[in-house]
A and B are shown apart, each in its own frame.
Chain A
Amino acid sequence: MKPFTVLTGIVAPLEALNVDTDQIIPKQFLKRIERTGYEDFLFFDWRFREDGSLDPDFEMNAARYKGASILLTKDNFGCGSSREHAPWALDNYGFRCILAPSYADIFFNNCFNNGILPIVLPGGVIEQLFKEVRAKDGYQLTVDLPAQQIVKPNGSRIPFDVNLFKKECLINGWDQIGLTLRHEDKIAAFEKRR
């Protein structure tokens, strides 16, 4: 897994509640058997018009958000289907970090398993960030995972919480299967015991 330590990047806003994984990547793109190549399918029905051109009504399509690596969105992001194609599509497109007031559980876990950091922030902080992002072209944030803080362009800091085990895995890019298999003897003993 790709390690995540400190990220500085453009922030793209997605103003919607309960964005489900069907919106993040529609089902017709789940038929591939690879983990990569999903970037063109991210938010497909919102991003593209019938003729395949970018839909100018979809805010994230604006030139100022090109190359964004931080996604700013609203409550219950990633609800619905467990498809890991959703974090794959976000990652393939270039997003490494998500800021939202809340996430759906399965999606939240899937992000960590793909080197993406989903950060939970209070609703008021998120609303303020929406304002700031829209007010300034090329608005960037620095996300410092070891220090558990986000640094704004004016230097002010927003602290955030993260599960310490997941944080350690992300910073080191650890393979979780490898971690678990260090306890192979305990798994074998458990199986014998029952």
Chain B
Amino acid sequence: MAKNIYEKIWERHVVHEEPGQDAILYIDRHYVHEVTSAQAFEGLRLAGRKVRRPERTFATMDHNIPTTGRSKPIEDPLSQQQVDTLEANCREFGVRCFDMNDPDNGIVHVIGPELGLTQPGMTIVCGDSHTATHGALGALAFGIGTSEVEHVLATQTLLQKKSKTMEVRLTGKLPRGVTSKDVILAIIGKIGTAGGTGYVIEYTGEAVRQMTMEQRLTMCNMTIEAGARAGLVSPDSITFEYLKGRKYLPDKPWDELVAGWSSWASDAGCTYDARVELDVSALEPQVTWGTSPGMVTGINGKTPVLAEIKNANARLAAEKALAYMGLPEGLPMTEVRPNVVYIGSCTNGRIEDLRDAARVAKGYKKAGGVDYVLIVPGSYRVKEQAEAEGLDKIFKSAGFEWREPGCSMCLAMNPDVLEPGDRCAATSNRNFEGRQGKGSRTHLVSPAMAAAAAIKGHFVDVRNWEFK
């Protein structure tokens, strides 16, 4: 019988199943970071347990670390303690740790694919909801809580109930200036932030096949913002081309690897529990106006008019969101003026994202009304590549700040925090109240849209940009 990719990966990883109980699912790769692991390692110690498969476990520091002055100790003693704790735990339990100054360090969801640790057909977990990112390579990857991190460390398995599957079919060709970030924001706008709850999504269709691997990573990354724990793309020649030469690939002949990886792709004629279709050919660049990623519209759209929202709960939510965002009803998005711009994160901190932003910024200066622009590469390797291409020079001459890699202002656990009332054009994934700092206001956009807002001082349609 024809199977989809989720069914194939699930079946090949079930260790044990009993009626009435969750299945025991084998985990191929476990990524660990400093914020959600300390209590899990402590649990192992208290129970006298070991890490079952240290060679399948990789740790990095990303959430807490400063993006400047990396040679000095971290100013916040609690952040330093968390980083030190991860380092000590990795040493004690024999886990490879990419520490703050390791050349392979970076955001966990950037370095996994970049180092070739993430491969098609794998099961991958991490104590982080954006683990969905890795599904772009055809791996079943999802975020877990700290108790589950401890469970995986101790047993290399997880207790799981099989999910339902949803096909999100993207038809048409992406217009120039419209990115996979706009696609995923539009999908969330269409199905809602809980539209994917209980499902694993597979992205299919012509538009997905045309996307580069990095575009797919961005799209799968925000699958969790649609409520689905995992988003997958069946592996194809773009996947294999991306993986070629990566550091941690198995030591096997290339043809053999490709044959193995290819076998995970969904079979023709397979079925799903639900289907959604989106024609991307008419899509505009997207901008969020509210405090949930589903509160989104096209750049030529406006903030909502409350009287036009029929559902009472949705109207109340929109009213609260507009009040928090300090925006009137019916305001054109092109009149929204951010005073801070942040380009980076596990969503949009890769080399193609920085190239997109640099292409827009080249030859321009940041607008007077914009206080600062942070460019934060997703990893040291991304940073190095960007510098080799001279992107850092373009950013600096536009008046942008060029930083060290990390999660930075996406969740603002490090010193990169917005002030109350700050309005930020951000390439990250969440526009929740206070996400980037108490009282901060976030508008989610693509890297090119963020760079254009930095130059003009308000949101503009980047499809009409005059490139220099």
Residues of A with Cβ closer than 8 Å to B? 16-18, 20, 22-23, 26-28, 30-35, 45, 74-76, 79-84, 87, 102-106, 109-110, 113-114, 163-166, 176-177, 179-181, 183-184, 186-187, 190-191
CB of B35 closer than 8 Å to a CB of A: yes
Contact across chains for A106 and B22 when beta carbons are under 8 A apart: no
A114 — which chain B residues lie within 8 A by C-beta? 147
Contact across chains for B147 and A45 when beta carbons are under 8 A apart: no
Cα–Cα distance between A180 and B17 once the two chains are bound (Å)? 11
Contact across chains for A27 and B313 when beta carbons are under 8 A apart: no
CB of B239 closer than 8 Å to a CB of A: no
CB of B197 closer than 8 Å to a CB of A: yes
Cα–Cα distance between A22 and B428 once the two chains are bound (Å)? 15
1/0 per position for B113-145, CB-CB distance to A under 8 A? Answer: 000000000000001110000000000001111
Contact across chains for B194 and A33 when beta carbons are under 8 A apart: no
What's the least CB distance linking B65 to chain A, in Å? 12
A35-B39, A75-B313 known; A165 vs B20 contact (CB < 8 Å): yes
Indicate which residue in A28, A35, A106, A179 contacts B144 across the interface (CB closer than 8 Å).
Answer: A106
Contact across chains for B432 and A20 when beta carbons are under 8 A apart: yes
CB of B82 closer than 8 Å to a CB of A: yes
B82 — which chain A residues lie within 8 A by C-beta? 31, 33
Cα–Cα distance between A17 and B433 once the two chains are bound (Å)? 13
The list of the 5 closest CB pairs from A to B, nearest first, reads A113-B147, A110-B145, A33-B38, A31-B78, A84-B145
Cα–Cα distance between A155 and B317 once the two chains are bound (Å)? 34
Contact across chains for A177 and B194 when beta carbons are under 8 A apart: no
Contact across chains for A81 and B129 when beta carbons are under 8 A apart: yes
Contact across chains for B197 and A80 when beta carbons are under 8 A apart: no
A113 — which chain B residues lie within 8 A by C-beta? 145, 147-148
Cα–Cα distance between A110 and B314 once the two chains are bound (Å)? 27
Residue of chain A at shortest CB distance from B161: A163
Cα–Cα distance between A16 and B316 once the two chains are bound (Å)? 9
What's the least CB distance linking A192 to chain B, in Å? 12
Cα–Cα distance between A165 and B24 once the two chains are bound (Å)? 13
**What are 24 A-B residue pairs whose CB atoms fall within 8 Å in the complex?**
A17-B313, A17-B314, A17-B316, A31-B64, A33-B38, A33-B39, A33-B81, A33-B82, A45-B433, A76-B197, A80-B129, A81-B430, A83-B145, A102-B197, A103-B197, A104-B194, A165-B22, A177-B47, A177-B49, A177-B155, A183-B16, A184-B155, A186-B16, A187-B15
Contact across chains for B78 and A32 when beta carbons are under 8 A apart: yes
B151 — which chain A residues lie within 8 A by C-beta? 176-177, 180
Known: A20-B432, A106-B144, A186-B24. 4 other contacts (CB 8 A): A27-B412, A45-B434, A180-B155, A187-B52
Residue of chain B at shortest CB distance from A113: B147
Cα–Cα distance between A128 and B316 once the two chains are bound (Å)? 18
What's the least CB distance linking A101 to chain B, in Å? 10
CB of B332 closer than 8 Å to a CB of A: no
Cα–Cα distance between A187 and B159 once the two chains are bound (Å)? 13
What's the least CB distance linking A96 to chain B, in Å? 16
Cα–Cα distance between A95 and B193 once the two chains are bound (Å)? 25
B197 — which chain A residues lie within 8 A by C-beta? 76, 102-105
CB of B180 closer than 8 Å to a CB of A: no
B16 — which chain A residues lie within 8 A by C-beta? 183, 186-187
B413 — which chain A residues lie within 8 A by C-beta? 27-28, 30-31
B22 — which chain A residues lie within 8 A by C-beta? 163, 165-166
A31-B82, A82-B128 known; A76 vs B227 contact (CB < 8 Å): yes
What's the least CB distance linking A79 to chain B, in Å? 6
Contact across chains for A82 and B143 when beta carbons are under 8 A apart: yes
CB of B150 closer than 8 Å to a CB of A: yes
Cα–Cα distance between A166 and B42 once the two chains are bound (Å)? 24
B159 — which chain A residues lie within 8 A by C-beta? 176, 179-180
CB of B297 closer than 8 Å to a CB of A: no
Residue of chain A at shortest CB distance from B15: A190
1/0 per position for B183-201, CB-CB distance to A under 8 A? Answer: 0000000000110011000
Contact across chains for B438 and A104 when beta carbons are under 8 A apart: no
What's the least CB distance linking B415 to chain A, in Å? 11
A23-B434, A106-B129 known; A30 vs B147 contact (CB < 8 Å): no
Contact across chains for A79 and B15 when beta carbons are under 8 A apart: no
Contact across chains for A177 and B154 when beta carbons are under 8 A apart: yes
Contact across chains for B432 and A80 when beta carbons are under 8 A apart: yes
Contact across chains for B35 and A30 when beta carbons are under 8 A apart: yes
Indicate which residue in B36, B227, B430 contacts A82 across the interface (CB closer than 8 Å).
Answer: B36
Cα–Cα distance between A32 and B77 once the two chains are bound (Å)? 10
Cα–Cα distance between A187 and B154 once the two chains are bound (Å)? 12
Cα–Cα distance between A62 and B127 once the two chains are bound (Å)? 35
Contact across chains for A187 and B145 when beta carbons are under 8 A apart: no
CB of B109 closer than 8 Å to a CB of A: no
B49 — which chain A residues lie within 8 A by C-beta? 177
Cα–Cα distance between A187 and B317 once the two chains are bound (Å)? 47
1/0 per position for B146-190, CB-CB distance to A under 8 A? Answer: 111011001111010100000000000000000000000000000
B144 — which chain A residues lie within 8 A by C-beta? 82, 106, 109
Cα–Cα distance between A83 and B81 once the two chains are bound (Å)? 18
A20-B432, A176-B151 known; A79 vs B81 contact (CB < 8 Å): no
Contact across chains for B432 and A82 when beta carbons are under 8 A apart: no
Residue among B52, B79, B129, B316 with max Cβ neighbours from chain A (10 Å): B129
Cα–Cα distance between A79 and B152 once the two chains are bound (Å)? 23
Cα–Cα distance between A76 and B226 once the two chains are bound (Å)? 11
What's the least CB distance linking A190 to chain B, in Å? 5
Contact across chains for A26 and B438 when beta carbons are under 8 A apart: yes
Cα–Cα distance between A29 and B197 once the two chains are bound (Å)? 27
CB of B350 closer than 8 Å to a CB of A: no
